[in-house]
């Protein structure tokens, strides 16, 4: 098998344990052995610890004395290497890198053996070359590594192997596949290793032959599957199972009626969608209520309609966004309190009314029922019966303020735990720790306030804020007689405000008598360990973006309203907010009572659940919100940390007959089905053919030509020069392309490389791709095209290309999965609009007659366009392309009008001038004026906002003013 030769066997006995005993479950040791012996793709179920497995490999390859290198020396006594092997880890997020470092710290890994995190802030290529020469494990972004490989900052011969995370996202055109293709083609496959890991099996079960394509892109043959029902996992986790108590909370009657109204609204949208898309064969299983609630239903529908998107009416497009809004409302109903939910649906109604295409479902009877019942959860207005004595009785407002049913359930569970602990408290040294896991930081804040202040105080605060906002809006629309409901709400505002004032006075008086949440030093120190350091389909038309923004604006408005707390609230903040865990974890109890820690699931990323549990070491865990990965982490923690006298007790709170219940069960079913499909596919699939020489064109180039190039010292990786082949005219094939390094975030450079092109990654001042001495290309995706035209950036780019190149071109590249249509013909209308994308493109071509527009259906089509354009033209001079924009700008600054040119040039401080050109908003045009007005950069930095605007222009002056006064530390 590939990757097995010249390798030590699986380590069995070592003098010193790399990882302390008891920190890794046995099934991870088995997974480590499988992936170490044979290169392949490891697919693990959520929560089983793929990050721990990666950390074990990083520790193994980074340790010189007891790790990989020591085993090589045992196998081969002639091995003389003393530095650790160079191993690259791709695909890691910033939070995952921080979590990996923290995890290795808890294992006692010395700092010099930990992975090096490489980002854009780590210096230039020379600095990275020095780091690479030392060896070790590097967590690096794909864009940096591909540029370093192409520029020979690091050679594939120096790299021992690669580890790829989130491997389900690797495709044949991705940058990770580009890196692997270069790595395996310039180094013998049996002398290197490639190991891939993913914790998302569903990503490999989607599409046609996704597993085979991923294995081929990764250049590996083996597939390792570790589901929850794997024999090793099952045996270990079923020993010491935690004590689980599942508590089903029914919805309140009003919440049930609202949920039924939402179901009716979804059904109305689905019926209208079927009627308006007769050309699509919808299956009943696709358009179901369950799918709408449990999956990204709107994305699935949009993806299915993408090819016909330009044919759809605006009303049909709106239905897709409406389904997304309704799916959000299902979740908001069980997550928000009654006041926040009512504010949310009112914001949706207001935003929809002001948009071009109002939502259809808001006009249905189901929407009326939803608004009525949502208001009844807050308050009702009781009208008195008229009598002879009182013909016009005064109406009264009855405050309801229905709490979330889960709040009371959580409180009852805590009281039950406290009562149970009081029975067994004799002889105990420490109070038990209770960990409460909820969805996000907002829910954490609400639960903290609820447990600390109680339901009445919490709801009164939120009710008072809603009254202030609502009454302020009502004053703007009242003309003449005040409506009865408006008058009652105004009276309620005064009454609630007075009640809150007295309540705050009493609370301040009680706060002086007792100190809440005083945590001892030994507990503070225990929680300030390193584990917590790391926890911290775009549419093309304006109308589509406006339609999508309605829901976001409504959410933003509601969140802003309830996140802004009155000044008095800051005095009630818990002392725990000032510690290392900040706002994500709270202690809300006395020392002698059970300690309650509230943590948000959104802050636990990358399998950090195990680290959190090791830090907190809870006796009880309350799952206020469900998460499959964290539940698995609890199983692992319970198996690895058995309690002598009792088991870990878990309370699982879930709404019965609700969207929450369906989503949780659907996630479990989806993961299990994905693993079953992968197991069946693994039994039948042939070993993937590893194509180490990339495309046929590249293989032919090897046979007919050399591996010489015209840049970077004569050669570029996989840059095959066929011009020296016998019998082939050197003018027939042109392969050199200068590529701006920022373009390596996209798939196009990888596709150009597969097509046999020779890429020179450089920093271009003008253009994104330079094909020859006359061709300069500015590439724009559809979303980038809209943004560049709106900001005016494209005008500046077209001006620079037209100035320096004979044939400047704007490449408009479409997504191959979407329709090849810039703007819907139905949206264009009969009148010419200045804000239309077509009008802006016409104006652009009128201003720059030399500018050519290239339309490309996909990156593969762009490859053919580039090949055609390069015919009969000389190869690009890369060094000249790099200097074109940069050097001319400096020369323009050195050249001034009038006499005494040479004297003034001699007086210019070149270092200060270069620094000036790098300041935000400064270009060649306004730099001359700045240099005339200012003696030094220090004088420029002390100028006021208005002075900077006068000498640099309004926009550039504002950018400079903000830059000079920006804090060095993030707030």
Q: How many angstroms separate the Cα of 351 from the Cα of each of 268, 347, 357, 552, 553?
A: 21, 6, 10, 10, 8
- Would you state the pLDDT for residue 323? 85
Closest CA to 399 of 370, 376, 383: 376
Residues 6 or more apart whose CB falls under 8 angstroms from that of 409 comprise 247, 249, 653
The rounded Cα 103 to chain-centroid distance in angstroms is 22
b/e map 748-776, b = 16+ CB within 10 Å: bbbbbbbbbbbbbbbebbbbbbbbbbebb
228/574 Cα distance (integer angstroms): 39
Which residues of the chain are under the pLDDT cut of 70? 1-22, 121-122, 283-291, 293-298, 307, 309-311, 425-430, 474-481, 504-593, 606, 644-645, 688-733, 824-832, 887-908, 910, 969-971
Q: How many helices (DSSP H) and strands (DSSP E) are in the chain?
A: 39, 21
Among left, alpha and beta (phi > 0; psi -120 to 50; other), residue 582 is left
Beta bridge partners of 164: 90, 196
- Would you state the pLDDT for residue 736? 87
Is 946 exposed, middle or buried, given 0-12, 13-18 or 19+ CB atoms closer than 10 A?
Answer: exposed
The reported pTM is: 0.76
As a dihedral over the C-alpha atoms of residue 76, residue 78, residue 84, residue 85, rounded to 10 degrees, the angle is: -70
Q: How many C-beta atoms lie closer than 10 Å to residue 835's C-beta?
A: 9
762: its two tokens:
């450089």
657/637 Cα distance (integer angstroms): 30
As a dihedral over the C-alpha atoms of residue 311, residue 312, residue 314, residue 320, rounded to 10 degrees, the angle is: -140
| Block residue for tokens 């007792």 | 514
In degrees and rounded to multiples of 5, residue 89 shows phi and psi of: -115, 120
932/929 Cα distance (integer angstroms): 5
Tell me which DSSP letter residue 383 carries: P
What are the helix (H) ranges across 617-658? 628-640
- Would you state the pLDDT for residue 339? 93
- Would you state the pLDDT for residue 386? 74
- Would you state the pLDDT for residue 274? 82
318/364 Cα distance (integer angstroms): 15
- Would you state the pLDDT for residue 341? 93
Residues 6 or more apart whose CB falls under 8 angstroms from that of 564 comprise none
571/575 Cα distance (integer angstroms): 10
- The SS3 assignment for 518 reads coil
Most distant CA pair in the chain, distance: 115
Residues 213 and 28 sit within 8 Å (Cβ to Cβ) = no
229/241 Cα distance (integer angstroms): 15
- The SS3 assignment for 881 reads helix
What are the helix (H) ranges across 579-724? 609-616, 628-640, 659-684, 696-704
Residues 6 or more apart whose CB falls under 8 angstroms from that of 493 comprise 464, 467, 468, 471
| Block residue for tokens 């208005």 | 946
Strands of 193-198's sheet, edge to edge?
116-118, 136-140, 86-90, 159-165, 193-198, 40-44, 222-226
């Amino acid at each position: 098998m590939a990757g097995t030769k010249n390798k030590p066997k699986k380590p069995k006995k070592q003098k010193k344990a790399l990882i302390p005993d008891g920190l890794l479950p046995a099934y991870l040791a088995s997974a480590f052995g499988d992936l170490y012996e044979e290169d392949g793709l490891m697919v693990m179920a959520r929560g089983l610890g793929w990050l721990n497995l990666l950390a074990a490999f990083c520790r193994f390859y980074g340790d010189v004395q007891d790790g990989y290198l020591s085993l090589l020396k045992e196998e081969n006594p002639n091995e003389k290497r003393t530095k650790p092997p160079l191993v690259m880890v791709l695909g890691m997020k910033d939070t995952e890198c921080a979590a990996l470092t923290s995890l290795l710290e808890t294992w006692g890994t010395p700092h010099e053996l930990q992975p090096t995190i490489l980002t854009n802030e780590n210096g230039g290529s020379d600095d990275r070359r020095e780091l690479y020469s030392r060896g070790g494990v590097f967590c690096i972004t794909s864009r940096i590594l591909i540029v370093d490989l192409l520029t020979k900052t690091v050679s594939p011969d120096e790299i021992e192997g690669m580890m790829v995370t989130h491997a389900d996202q690797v495709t044949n055109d991705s940058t990770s596949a580009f890196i692997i293709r270069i790595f395996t083609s310039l180094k013998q496959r049996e002398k290197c290793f490639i190991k891939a890991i993913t914790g998302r099996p569903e990503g490999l079960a989607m599409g046609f032959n996704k597993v085979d394509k991923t294995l081929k892109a990764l250049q590996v043959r083996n597939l390792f599957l570790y589901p929850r029902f794997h024999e090793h996992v099952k045996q270990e986790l079923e020993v010491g199972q935690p004590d689980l108590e599942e508590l089903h909370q029914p919805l309140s009657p009003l919440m049930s009626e609202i949920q039924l109204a939402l179901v009716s609204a979804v059904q109305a949208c689905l019926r209208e969608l079927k009627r308006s898309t007769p050309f699509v064969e919808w299956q009943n299983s696709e358009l179901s209520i369950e799918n709408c609630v449990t999956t990204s239903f709107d994305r699935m529908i949009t993806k299915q309609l993408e090819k016909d998107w330009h044919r759809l009416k605006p009303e049909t497009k709106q239905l897709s966004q409406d389904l997304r809004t309704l799916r959000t409302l299902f979740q908001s109903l069980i997550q928000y309190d009654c006041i926040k939910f009512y504010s949310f649906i009112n914001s949706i109604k207001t935003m929809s009314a002001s948009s071009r295409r109002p939502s259809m479902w808001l006009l249905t009877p189901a929407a009326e029922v939803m608004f009525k019942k949502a208001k009844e959860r807050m308050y009702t207005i009781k009208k008195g019966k008229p009598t002879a004595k009182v013909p016009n009785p005064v109406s009264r407002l009855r405050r309801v303020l229905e709490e979330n049913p889960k709040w009371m359930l959580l409180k009852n569970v805590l009281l039950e735990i406290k009562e149970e602990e009081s029975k067994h408290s004799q002889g105990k040294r420490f109070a038990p720790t209770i960990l409460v896991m909820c969805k996000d930081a907002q829910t954490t804040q609400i639960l903290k306030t609820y447990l600390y202040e109680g339901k009445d105080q919490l709801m009164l605060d939120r009710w008072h804020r809603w009254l202030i906002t609502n009454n302020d809006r009502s004053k703007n629309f009242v003309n003449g007689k005040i409506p009865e409901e408006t008058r009652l709400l105004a009276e309620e505002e005064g009454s609630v405000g007075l009640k809150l004032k007295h309540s705050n006075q009493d609370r301040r008086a009680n706060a002086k008598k007792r100190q809440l949440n005083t945590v001892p030093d030994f507990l503070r120190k225990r929680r300030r360990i390193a584990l917590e350091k790391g926890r911290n389909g775009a549419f093309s038309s304006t109308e589509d973006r406006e339609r999508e923004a309605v829901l976001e604006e409504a959410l933003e408005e509601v969140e802003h309203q309830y996140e802004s707390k009155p000044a008095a609230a800051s005095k009630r903040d818990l002392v725990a907010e000032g510690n290392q865990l900040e706002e994500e974890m709270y202690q809300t109890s006395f020392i002698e009572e059970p300690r309650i820690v509230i943590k948000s699931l959104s802050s636990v990323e990358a399998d950090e659940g195990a680290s959190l549990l090791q830090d907190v070491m809870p006796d009880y865990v309350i799952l206020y919100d469900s998460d499959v990965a964290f539940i698995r982490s609890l199983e692992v923690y319970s198996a690895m940390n058995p309690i002598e006298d009792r088991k870990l007790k878990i309370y699982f709170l879930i709404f019965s007959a609700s969207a929450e219940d369906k989503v949780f069960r659907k996630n479990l079913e989806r993961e299990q089905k994905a693993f079953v499909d992968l197991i069946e596919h693994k039994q039948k699939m042939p070993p993937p053919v590893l194509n180490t020489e990339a495309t046929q064109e590249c293989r032919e180039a090897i046979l007919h030509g050399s591996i010489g190039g015209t840049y970077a010292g004569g050669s570029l990786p996989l840059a095959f020069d066929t011009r020296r082949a016998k019998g082939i005219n050197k003018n027939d094939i042109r392969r050199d392309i200068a590529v701006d390094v920022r373009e390596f975030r996209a798939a196009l450079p990888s596709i150009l490389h597969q097509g046999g092109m020779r890429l020179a990654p450089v920093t271009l001042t003008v253009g994104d791709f330079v094909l020859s001495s006359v061709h300069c290309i500015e590439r724009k995706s559809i979303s980038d095209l809209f943004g560049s035209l709106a900001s005016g950036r494209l005008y500046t780019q077209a001006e620079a290309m037209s100035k320096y190149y004979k044939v400047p071109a704007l490449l408009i590249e479409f997504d191959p999965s979407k329709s090849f249509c810039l703007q819907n013909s139905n949206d264009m209308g009969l009148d010419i609009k200045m804000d239309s994308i077509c009008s802006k493109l016409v104006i652009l071509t009128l201003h720059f007659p030399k500018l050519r527009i290239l339309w490309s259906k996909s990156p593969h089509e762009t490859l053919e366009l580039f090949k055609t354009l390069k015919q009969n033209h000389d190869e690009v001079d890369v060094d000249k392309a790099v200097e074109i924009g940069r050097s001319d700008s400096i020369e323009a600054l050195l050249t001034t009008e009038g006499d005494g040119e040479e004297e003034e040039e001699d007086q210019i401080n070149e270092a200060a001038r270069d620094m000036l050109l790098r300041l935000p908003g400064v270009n060649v045009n306004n730099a001359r004026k700045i240099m005339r007005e200012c003696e030094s950069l220090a004088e420029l930095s002390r100028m006021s906002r208005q002075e900077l605007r006068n000498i640099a222009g309004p926009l550039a002056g504002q950018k400079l003013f903000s830059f000079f006064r920006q804090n060095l530390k993030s707030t």
